[in-house]
Chain A
């Protein structure tokens, strides 16, 4: 079933490319239906899911692939990957619905996004480093074509910058993986086996170097300060659905790598360098928020808030490495918060980027100063954008709060100095309220005149995402019940 979930979108993509007689309208609906079916399959998987316990995965499947280096097609899920897979299918479905009205080469685009969906799901399910790396790089290739092919503005340059930057990052990641492989005895790329062996414990220099390579690769993808400068141009010039997938899903590949690879496989090195990770997290939180505050371009602003939000995740996983007597509960609260933040940021930021896409579609600009009084001409957009903004700034009752409360409570409990990052939630509040004020309030003027409100497809893409955020914010147990056991396992693995 797991492989079916991963492969289904890819098969649909191949079919879309192979059958050119299929009309554009049909292609758009194929995309929606396939993503909906995939979401249903993930939902079934979720319902059947039982926490597999330490060192194991649920719904495991393994087929030999490159036996010479002990690399196999090995997939499985646990409480870290399952929520991200669910979030991925939700975001892709929202994009498919959103794109129902779009006329720009729908068949190729549907195929490309279905390919990206398979790649993303495969990455989150991967239990083999080579497989993980393969999906990691394919996601970069896929997103390159999305930005270069369907973007606007200086899209070619932005796409190339995105490609080269993150591809170089992935090479560092590969170097780290090879380091793990070489150190393991017997040599293997199997993630479950590597987490069991922790091959580099006891060799601080080699462990530190391998961790540095892996951290570098993940930090570029996440992105954290100072490796984030590819993000704003990539988002600004990407199409709305591309931005939604890039911010919603692709960024999580970086943060997921922390909890899936770096922490369990290199616990000793992680503990040794936890403070560095914490500092990078705090800097990303504060720096990302401040730079976002200064933006006058709506999409760049949202892009920088991603740096801020991913900073919370980095901060929390770093804090989880600061091991002290009796701090297991606090550290596992922090990791739970980090995973919740990945899910929450995925759905909320996807919604915000889709709405930014609506703004571009109607007005052809992202400049906040060109608008005013938009609540008069586009009341639906105003309501939903306000909900999205409040979700993003961590208002209780929405998913961001569940994530950030746990991140802060857990992190402050193990490392009180992380309280300085609290200023981040204040600055994000300021920048979103400022943006709301500039876009939506006051007399209707400039680009707001004659602005068409959300259409059905747009509404049905955005509203469910925000509804989900509300659901998680009010009833977090179904999500936390899955995440918490896995977070405890990660904390145990780091602590050993």
Chain B
């Protein structure tokens, strides 16, 4: 493949889904929406593979002295095909799942995919931020896809606002990069001057943690589950949330250069893996469980980035994308067939549709960390580096791994359960509680699960020799694999925990059921006070600021009125009495000398009286008259000033 055509392929990779998606959203061609977007997604997947092999770089001038540069290196070569292929499979699934407003749905999904692909290939901060927030906006629109139901739209709003609050970090980082002198290219960020480098790292870290639904931002992901299942499968497992982890892998050199950002990321990741693992264990709703598990699994990716284990982190990201998309799609298939996503209602669901059941079992076992499935190996690649750094970190990570085995075991045991006749009524009572179930899982819904299951089965190879070594070398890392003992420990742990939950149902700690109360806390501490402040300021604006202006105007009118009164009573009175005095004088003079001057005196008196009338005319008592006079006087003053300059 020639250089030029590889570059074209990279542009097309981003532009094709964007253009087709935008056209679908604007034109709404309902009938052709599905075939057109499936062809687009297939082409995009092919393009993704092409650029992953050829690794092109392209750029155009953009802004702030920086290009909009795209490029595919080893890390992107891993992530880009993952995003493209999962997009294609999810869209195939959606063809069986989404019945109405298809053009809008597919258009938004393609726009989102374009944003995710641009994120994964962006080489500069402006380009990254562009793609980053486009993902956020399409996520808002997709979560609130069923806009007739207000709670879904508010869930989208919550997701957008929380992630945007974190995105502010990237704006800050851009300022820091500009001030730090290193430039806005992602590869140049570590070169920023000492002080600014810390600001940069902090900004990037916050933005990535927000998108990856790490603590303390995790709660938006819970709300995001109000969206359709395919949306959760693509955005909230394989692509958007994963991009948070990806950004940290991408900027690992920057995190490492600061000294503190790496360990911080590692600990936030580990804590999220542990606590959200507990949250997942406590859920009764399958999608909520999967969402919490997503945040927890991304915790391992974030941990990998913080520890400098980019290869392990990337492998975990990819393996998790395949695994979790599979599980979300299975949950979606059951939801539309049975009308419920409550675990109680899903008892025995796997037996009813065995292909879906087997595929989901592969996913759940991979998620549990059972050897030799994908997440077992990739997670251990991260944990091995953690062990080398800090036993505490390793211990937290291992505990989180045990939790993932526990909640995966719960899924497995539930969906594969034989429902005794006595319990059947409790299961049936949940059916159709969410939506009208079709009692049918079509081929379009089943087939995409199979390649994803294959991924969940095999992608662990990315973290094992020899593939793992190749990956590490192409990421310019030392190939280092976890010791056999550690891998044995984690495999044994997974099996032991699975056995344990089979024997005794896992505890479901109540205090974590509501996602650690994060949303309640944010509403109480941030949202409420902000709204109260906004209302207070608005009434200040109306009552104080605006009224002050009104009072000033009223004051001016008052002064004008008083001036008018003064004018009438005092000035005009003076003129009047003056003329009266003159008249009296004239009479005296007339008496003294009736002839000769009499006419002249009479004339003078009449003229003075007329003057008095003229002087009264401008004093109308109306503000605008006085205003015009003021302007006139000012203008005369100016002219006077100019003429005597």
Using a CB–CB distance below 8 Å, which chain A residues touch chain B? 68-69, 161, 164-165, 171, 178, 182, 187, 226, 229-230, 287, 290-291, 293-295, 326-327, 329-330, 333, 336, 373, 375-376, 383, 386, 390, 395-397, 401-402, 404-406, 408-414, 416, 419, 422-423, 425-427, 429-430, 433-434, 437, 440-443, 476-477, 480
Which residue of the partner chain, among B25, B147, B168, B530, contacts A375 with CB atoms under 8 Å?
Answer: B147
Which residue of the partner chain, among A291, A383, A396, A433, contacts B25 with CB atoms under 8 Å?
Answer: A383
Q: Give the interface segment out of B156-164, B269-277, B306-314, B341-349.
A: B156-164
A429 and B165 alpha carbons, distance in the complex (Å): 10
Chain B neighbourhood of A419, CB < 8 A:
172, 175
- A294-B535, A390-B137, A429-B164 given as contacts; is B63 within 8 A of A406 (CB)? yes
A72 and B140 alpha carbons, distance in the complex (Å): 55
- A178-B638, A293-B531, A441-B144 given as contacts; is B64 within 8 A of A409 (CB)? yes
Nearest CB in chain A: distance from B333 CB, A? 27
Nearest CB in chain B: distance from A402 CB, A? 6
Using a CB–CB distance below 8 Å, which chain B residues touch chain A? 25-26, 60-65, 126, 129-134, 137, 140-141, 144, 147-150, 153-154, 157, 160-161, 164-165, 168, 171-172, 174-179, 181, 184, 199, 530-531, 533-535, 537-538, 541, 545-546, 549, 553, 627, 631, 634, 638, 641-642, 645
Chain B neighbourhood of A375, CB < 8 A:
147
User: CB distance A405 to B537 under 8 Å?
Assistant: no
User: CB distance A290 to B130 under 8 Å?
Assistant: no
- A178-B638, A409-B64 given as contacts; is B537 within 8 A of A290 (CB)? yes
Nearest CB in chain A: distance from B18 CB, A? 9
Nearest CB in chain A: distance from B621 CB, A? 17
User: CB distance A396 to B26 under 8 Å?
Assistant: no
Across the interface, name the chain B residue whose C-beta is closest to A406.
B64
Across the interface, name the chain A residue whose C-beta is closest to B535.
A294
17 other A-B residue contacts (CB within 8 Å) besides A294-B535, A426-B161, A442-B153: A171-B634, A229-B549, A293-B531, A295-B538, A396-B134, A401-B129, A409-B171, A411-B175, A412-B172, A413-B175, A413-B176, A422-B172, A429-B161, A433-B157, A434-B157, A476-B63, A477-B62
A230 and B641 alpha carbons, distance in the complex (Å): 33
Nearest CB in chain A: distance from B2 CB, A? 26
- A441-B147, A442-B150 given as contacts; is B175 within 8 A of A412 (CB)? yes
A412 and B546 alpha carbons, distance in the complex (Å): 32
User: CB distance A405 to B63 under 8 Å?
Assistant: yes
Chain B neighbourhood of A440, CB < 8 A:
147
Which residue of the partner chain, among A68, A422, A443, contacts B168 with CB atoms under 8 Å?
Answer: A422
A441 and B156 alpha carbons, distance in the complex (Å): 12
Which residue of the partner chain, among A226, A405, A422, A480, contacts B129 with CB atoms under 8 Å?
Answer: A405
A47 and B177 alpha carbons, distance in the complex (Å): 34
4 A-B pairs closest in CB distance: A412-B175, A413-B179, A294-B538, A396-B130
Nearest CB in chain B: distance from A321 CB, A? 16
User: CB distance B534 to A291 under 8 Å?
Assistant: yes
Chain A neighbourhood of B533, CB < 8 A:
290
A3 and B129 alpha carbons, distance in the complex (Å): 42
Interface-central residue, A290, A396, A397, by most chain B CB under 10 Å: A396
A262 and B179 alpha carbons, distance in the complex (Å): 26
Interface-central residue, B60, B174, B179, by most chain A CB under 10 Å: B179
User: CB distance A426 to B178 under 8 Å?
Assistant: no
User: CB distance B171 to A408 under 8 Å?
Assistant: yes
User: CB distance B161 to A409 under 8 Å?
Assistant: no
User: CB distance B638 to A405 under 8 Å?
Assistant: no
User: CB distance B147 to A396 under 8 Å?
Assistant: no
User: CB distance B174 to A408 under 8 Å?
Assistant: yes
A68 and B533 alpha carbons, distance in the complex (Å): 55
Chain B neighbourhood of A164, CB < 8 A:
553, 627
- A290-B534, A409-B64 given as contacts; is B642 within 8 A of A426 (CB)? no
Which residue of the partner chain, among A69, A408, A412, A425, contacts B642 with CB atoms under 8 Å?
Answer: A69
What are 17 pairs between A and B in contact, CB < 8 Å? A161-B549, A333-B65, A396-B131, A406-B63, A408-B171, A409-B175, A412-B171, A412-B178, A413-B175, A422-B168, A422-B172, A427-B530, A433-B140, A433-B161, A442-B148, A442-B150, A477-B61
A426 and B533 alpha carbons, distance in the complex (Å): 15
Nearest CB in chain B: distance from A178 CB, A? 6
Nearest CB in chain A: distance from B527 CB, A? 9
A64 and B249 alpha carbons, distance in the complex (Å): 65
Across the interface, name the chain A residue whose C-beta is closest to B536.
A294
Nearest CB in chain B: distance from A338 CB, A? 13
A395 and B149 alpha carbons, distance in the complex (Å): 25
A405 and B125 alpha carbons, distance in the complex (Å): 10
- A287-B537, A294-B531, A422-B171 given as contacts; is B154 within 8 A of A401 (CB)? no
Chain B neighbourhood of A68, CB < 8 A:
642
Nearest CB in chain A: distance from B386 CB, A? 33
A156 and B52 alpha carbons, distance in the complex (Å): 66
A64 and B549 alpha carbons, distance in the complex (Å): 40
Which residue of the partner chain, among B177, B179, B537, B641, contacts A291 with CB atoms under 8 Å?
Answer: B537
- A413-B176, A442-B148 given as contacts; is B537 within 8 A of A397 (CB)? no
Chain A neighbourhood of B171, CB < 8 A:
404-405, 408-409, 412, 422, 425
User: CB distance A405 to B126 under 8 Å?
Assistant: yes
User: CB distance A397 to B134 under 8 Å?
Assistant: yes
Across the interface, name the chain A residue whose C-beta is closest to B125.
A409
Across the interface, name the chain A residue whose C-beta is closest to B623.
A164
User: CB distance B147 to A401 under 8 Å?
Assistant: no
Chain A neighbourhood of B538, CB < 8 A:
290-291, 294-295
Chain A neighbourhood of B154, CB < 8 A:
437
A396 and B631 alpha carbons, distance in the complex (Å): 48
- A333-B178, A441-B153, A442-B148 given as contacts; is B64 within 8 A of A401 (CB)? no
Nearest CB in chain B: distance from A49 CB, A? 18
User: CB distance A229 to B168 under 8 Å?
Assistant: no
Nearest CB in chain A: distance from B29 CB, A? 14
Chain A neighbourhood of B165, CB < 8 A:
426
Chain A neighbourhood of B534, CB < 8 A:
290-291, 293-294, 427
User: CB distance A405 to B26 under 8 Å?
Assistant: no
A320 and B197 alpha carbons, distance in the complex (Å): 23
User: CB distance A443 to B178 under 8 Å?
Assistant: no
Across the interface, name the chain A residue whose C-beta is closest to B140.
A433
Across the interface, name the chain B residue whose C-beta is closest to A477.
B61
A416 and B64 alpha carbons, distance in the complex (Å): 17
Chain B neighbourhood of A406, CB < 8 A:
63-64
A7 and B377 alpha carbons, distance in the complex (Å): 75
Nearest CB in chain B: distance from A424 CB, A? 10
Which residue of the partner chain, among B63, B147, B157, B172, contacts A480 with CB atoms under 8 Å?
Answer: B63
Nearest CB in chain B: distance from A435 CB, A? 11
User: CB distance A226 to B545 under 8 Å?
Assistant: yes
A477 and B645 alpha carbons, distance in the complex (Å): 49
User: CB distance A412 to B531 under 8 Å?
Assistant: no
Across the interface, name the chain A residue whose C-beta is closest to B643.
A68
